[in-house]
Structure 1
Amino acid sequence: MRQNPSFAMTDVGEIRRLIEHHPWVTLVASTPDGLVASHYAVLLDESRDDLTIVGHVGKPDDAILGLGERELLVVVQGPHGYITPRWYGDGPAVPTWNFVSAHLSGIPEILTPEENLRVLDRLVERFEGEDGRGLYRAPNDAAFVDRLAAGTVGFRLTPTRVVGKRKLSQNRPVEVVDTIIAGLGDGPYANPSLAAEMQRAADARRPAGRA
């Protein structure tokens, strides 16, 4: 991902927030047969405060990706959407696309079967949640759980390269940013998640006490 200093996202806390809120990622590997991509959910490693993630793939994706043997690129995609030049006011302008994304690269570590099971449990707890009917629990059947775990391979990735990008019209005047946020909030270009992300970034840039 080409970086632009105006849009660089380097704060570890912000990238962790991105991963936490958008855990469905793309895994990309360069293999002897060409580029391969798979899609899985990941979690931040709860024992670390950096950008280490854990997850799993179903077999034979581990072999297809060369998991643990070669570099893996993890693409995290946050809110994104079309920005019409009509929001820029008078003057020449072109459409663009605002987005938040991060690329994590490194050679993953393969988890032990016990570690993999713990990650699978965490994934269920993370996405099942309490909904008034109680939390879903995996069947209390050791043989079933063993078969489930045997069909997956867990991994831990501590990235050796990170590129984060947050392109949210930071290069535009404050009043234009406010117009874009309003346009994304309602109407034909409504994109509430992108509007909220832009509002959060805009609030962080404003001097204290200025609304």
Structure 2
Amino acid sequence: MPITACAFDLDGTLVDSIHDLARAANLARADLGLAELSSDRVASFVGDGAASLVARVLADSNSAEYTGTAMQVEGMDRFNEHYRAGLSIATQFYPKVQETLHMLHERGMPLAIVTNKPERFTIPLLRELGVFEHFDVIVAGDSLPKKKPAPEPLQFAALQLKVELADMLMVGDSENDILAARAAGCPVIAVSYGYGSNIESLGADAVIHRFDELRDYLDLN
């Protein structure tokens, strides 16, 4: 791959944040008199941004949509409060992520975050984890009118990085990441360890099982 830049999803790709997301989601449910959900159940709702997560968590259904009902607004407020107060209590990098990001940054590879997580959580989390300065561009779920699986976030990232879309590798863990990359014309690698399901069958250019396997595809060994 003639790769000159990389764009990364965040949750499920760089970091395992599900315990903090589940904690905040369950505190919001408790505030509204609802029973606790398992972390695995909350993980099945992750990937389309905070509003979708809250709608699904409150309804305990993958088909729920955020329509601004009074309960959803209250749940969103409670989730925002609880999650912002504990972004990185249990959140941690997946194996070899920190080392690989540092290596790419040191070698001058332009790097972007392209996530559906809202900016109000994305930037503070990256700062708390100590990697904010590694990224030249951060495109959050509310940075643009559309988010993944639309191509616009990747198109915007490539424009800001001043690289061709065909030369920017997208790395993610979900169908949204692969669909966005395909729509934008980016090569895409999927990680097998994240929150996505059936990742091997979603049509990524490659699937890796540990983050530092990226070195093989970027010819950095």
TM-score, normalisation: structure 1: 0.24
In terms of fraction of residues, the more strand-rich structure is 1
TM-score, normalisation: structure 2: 0.23
In terms of fraction of residues, the more helix-rich structure is 2
